[in-house]
Structure 1
Amino acid sequence: MAGDLDIDLLRAFATVYQSGGFSPAAEILGRSQPAISLQIKRLEERVGSQLFERSSARGVSLTPTGLTLMDYARQIVALHDEAMARVALPSFNAFVRLGILEELSNYRLPTVLRSFSKVFPDANLQVQVKLSNSLMLEMLQGRLDIIVIAAEANTPNTIPLWSEQLVWVASSAVPTSVRQPLPLVSLPDPCFYRKAATQALTGAGQQWVDVCSSSTMAGIRASVIAGIGVTAMGKTEVTEGLHILGSDSGLPRLSDAEVVIYFRDKGFESVAKALAAHVRKSIA
């Protein structure tokens, strides 16, 4: 290996893999696809080994060397971004109103809050956990400064956090029939779990019927555990009493959800970047 690992090359490498291809990585990083390809080539020359398989059904697939380097690349990029953002805010002690999506309230919420406390120990934090439409409305009305939500790629004023793998879930104690129409338990619209579920079912030509709607994930879990129906949720949010339905259930594959930090205005961009960097490092 000759020389040091350049942070921009590592960022391009991680983004290509996480986004699933060179074209989406170019969009995320605001560069051309040839420029991204050149960065990957330079990184491969630097480490003296090929990092991506040149032909893969997935679109991009890592070689053994690439797999090893990816673990380090994610951590290095996240730590670099956290350090840069933290130095830019050496004594941040403002009042911050943070909103977090209800769908993420079980597993991811503690990670986000721990990260905020670690990066901004002197800040005054107010937290709200609500549904997506409520969070967006409160931000538009100036009652929230930063929110953690699911959003389309390249949405303005957003910073990527992670890709949430969605799965079909049923009761682990009560047999639940995967029948037509599918008995669906979900949060009300707009909900990215519900949207992913209904889009997948429609695309597969499968019918469903709403058997239960709750405004909280606690209500969703209780309904599913009771055997009322099935639901879609993040894999990390599956708790005791629930089990994941595999491909043998006949249910269509669910698309992943992209979770981002959305900041109200440029005044909170540095705060959002520092928080995002620490969250990404925490879940790497």
Structure 2
Amino acid sequence: MNCKGFILIGALIISGLLVAGCVDSETQPGVPEELRIATTTSLYDTGLLDHLQPIFEERYNAKLLIVSAGTGKALEYGMRGDVDVMMVHDRAREDTFIAEGHGVERRVIAYNYFVILGPESDPAGIRGTSPEEAFRTLFEQGTAGESGIAFVSRGDESGTHAKEKAIWRSAGYDYATDIQNSGIWYVEAGRGMGETLVMANEKEAYTLSDKGTFLAYKGDLGIVPVVDEGEILLNVYSTMLINPQTHTGIDTDLGKAWINFLISDEAQEEIATFGVSEYGEPLFFPAQGNWERMGVPQSEVTEPVL
């Protein structure tokens, strides 16, 4: 074969490779779009987001970048525009966040309840009392130096910490002046829910936890629920989009898709059944159909974000 023949064959081979390369690039999916999410620790520590994440990522060719923190810290991320979406559980601060122009399109996605945990022996004798009465007893015995009485607080401005302060307030105390620095019986962990549970367990102390995280850690704990009834123990989780009118670089379209996914029938069913096979009961209850129980408008549960 002469030189021209080799050149022609080579050209055909290269041309074929280029065509094949073009076809492959067109049939392969593009680079996943990233969505930044700040979530409260309980939704992360329980594994719920790990459960929902692959479903959403595959459907939307997305990659979720999730940072877990207490609600207070999560709100700070949102105020700076460092994330696209938030998932928290402190209605009062959420309302303020929205009123200040940082968040929009709030939707309620789930709920569970807080529980007061303590040693099985219950040295304070609070089992079965109201949350407010339990806290009054713990304060009285703790400040009196009663043996075996200690309380470990999240102490991190999380939604759980906010609920704890609400219970102290309902029990008749001022948190800053009466509870903080009231003695060695009261310990502020400054940690997430999982770590706080471990600390309370090691100290054989009382603590407040959302029930979902407690169930997820239950196998490693000796402390048990001693108070689990009371209207004030309701724990409502919501999600919202960071306001693109206030902050730049917000992925509005994918953020809305995530919110709509969370309130969809599919995701709500996943929430309803999550944990049942492993723990014998759900870690969270779906918001869908339970707006009256949570005391929120139906639109905050079912209305799609457009």
| TM-score calculated relative to the size of structure 1 | 0.57
Pairing partner for 1:132 from 71, 79, 89: 71
The residue identity in structure 2 corresponding to 1:135 is: A
Pairing partner for 1:123 from 62, 87, 94: 62
Contact residue 147 and residue 261 of structure 1 kept, 8 A: yes
Which residue matches 1:231?
A: 207
Q: By how many angstroms is 1:100 displaced?
A: 1.6
Measured at CA, do residues 270 and 176 of structure 1 come closer, stay the same or move farther in structure 2, by a change above 3 Å? same
- Aligned to 2:88, the other structure's residue is in SS state strand
Structure having the higher Rg: 2
Which residue matches 1:190?
A: 157
The number of aligned residues is 188
Q: Deviations over 1:11-65 (max 9, x none)?
A: xxxxxxxxxxxxxxxxxxxxxxxxxxxxxxxxxxxxxxxxxxxxxxxxxxxxxxx
| 1:113 maps onto 2:113 in alignment | no
Pairing partner for 1:211 from 187, 204, 207: 187
Task: Provide runs of 4+ in structure 1 moved above 6 Å.
Answer: none
Cα RMSD (Å) of the superposition?
2.9
Measured at CA, do residues 225 and 272 of structure 1 come closer, stay the same or move farther in structure 2, by a change above 3 Å? same
Contact residue 98 and residue 126 of structure 1 kept, 8 A: yes
Q: By how many angstroms is 1:124 displaced?
A: 1.8
- Aligned to 2:191, the other structure's residue is in SS state coil
Measured at CA, do residues 235 and 279 of structure 1 come closer, stay the same or move farther in structure 2, by a change above 3 Å? same
Which residue matches 1:283?
A: 271
* Alpha-carbon distance between aligned partners in 1 of 2:37 and 2:230, rounded to the nearest angstrom: 34
* Alpha-carbon distance between aligned partners in 2 of 1:157 and 1:101, rounded to the nearest angstrom: 18
Structure 1: 5+ residue runs without aligned partners?
Answer: 1-90
Q: By how many angstroms is 1:131 displaced?
A: 1.6
* Alpha-carbon distance between aligned partners in 1 of 2:238 and 2:36, rounded to the nearest angstrom: 16
- Identity between Structure 1 and Structure 2 (%): 11
| 1:274 maps onto 2:261 in alignment | yes
Measured at CA, do residues 112 and 134 of structure 1 come closer, stay the same or move farther in structure 2, by a change above 3 Å? same
Measured at CA, do residues 255 and 92 of structure 1 come closer, stay the same or move farther in structure 2, by a change above 3 Å? farther
Counterparts of 1:133-212 in structure 2, within 5 Å, are: 133-152=72-91, 155=95, 156-172=104-120, 176-177=123-124, 179-181=137-139, 183-205=150-172, 209=182, 210-212=186-188
The residue identity in structure 2 corresponding to 1:117 is: P
Which residue matches 1:45?
A: none
Structure 2: 5+ residue runs without aligned partners?
Answer: 1-29, 96-103, 126-136, 143-149, 245-251, 273-306
